[in-house]
Structure 1
């Protein structure tokens, strides 16, 4: 082992360590955690999925979302908080039980969900545009098999 030589002023002769790389923004590392609703084309998959579920259900409690997606309540709470802050979701008192808040899409939430849904449908159509007929048939076959397996796993059908 080579021992460093002490220099005047208490410093040693070892070279300074290389600087640490700049930490990457959490949004770069995990795009699914990006804030909801900055721009319609930036709506994360998680936010899009939660908004779609709320629209489909006509609203539900945060605990229902957590149970449906088998997520921790704190995870849903953070996601819902971002959606509320973006003006896409609002909490309303349940008329049957005023102790319960039900999450609903705002008008803006409906608009953003529709815009993002349309943009994603276009992207889904464009991605395989140059695929051959046999490739598209194989893809469709595999996608059907995948969805059937997912439904069996979920106990649907």
Structure 2
């Protein structure tokens, strides 16, 4: 019997986690209670929250969408009052996207919802097992971030 290596098991699990269907399920759960955000605009709002104020071009690279789609979704979020465009203080030729107070509140609400979803998924695990999983995932993510430079 050929047992998979730990790396192969992680690859398979992350592959399933990152499938569009899985992401869309989570996005739909997250945006259900947030006005002005849907599954298509969520990555823009989330990316801006994690990366801070930036240009649409830079945000597109961070979230893995093309600049045109990022700009279009940012316009929808701006119309909903969740982000605003402002001149970049470093370069007046560049327009910077930034969250409004309502945008920050929407992100906080969505993160609370995501925590609830994950707490529900982990409810059947015993406490130490869930804590060990969280600690191992944090360590894995930190190591992955450090390895990319």
More helix by share: 2
How many residue pairs align between the two structures?
124
For 1:92, the equivalent position in structure 2 comes to 86
2:44/2:70 contact within 8 Å kept: no
Q: What do you get for the CA RMSD once the two structures are aligned?
A: 3.5
1:48/1:113 contact within 8 Å kept: no
Which of 124, 131, 137 in structure 1 is aligned with 2:125? 131
CA distance in 2, matches of 1:57, 1:82: 19
Give the secondary-structure state (helix, strand or coil) at the position aligned to 1:60: coil
| Max Rg structure | 1
**Alpha-carbon distance, 1:117 to partner:** 1.1
For 1:155, the equivalent position in structure 2 comes to 148
**Alpha-carbon distance, 1:148 to partner:** 6.5
- Provide closer, same or farther for how the CA distance between residues 43 and 32 of structure 1 changes in structure 2, counting only shifts above 3 A: farther
Long gaps (5+) in structure 2: 1-23
Residues 1:68 and 2:62 aligned together = yes
Give the secondary-structure state (helix, strand or coil) at the position aligned to 2:81: coil
For 2:108, the equivalent position in structure 1 comes to 114
TM-score by length of 1: 0.58
Q: RCO (CA 8 Å, sep 6+): is it higher in 1 or 2?
A: 2
Give the secondary-structure state (helix, strand or coil) at the position aligned to 1:75: helix
**Alpha-carbon distance, 1:111 to partner:** 1.1
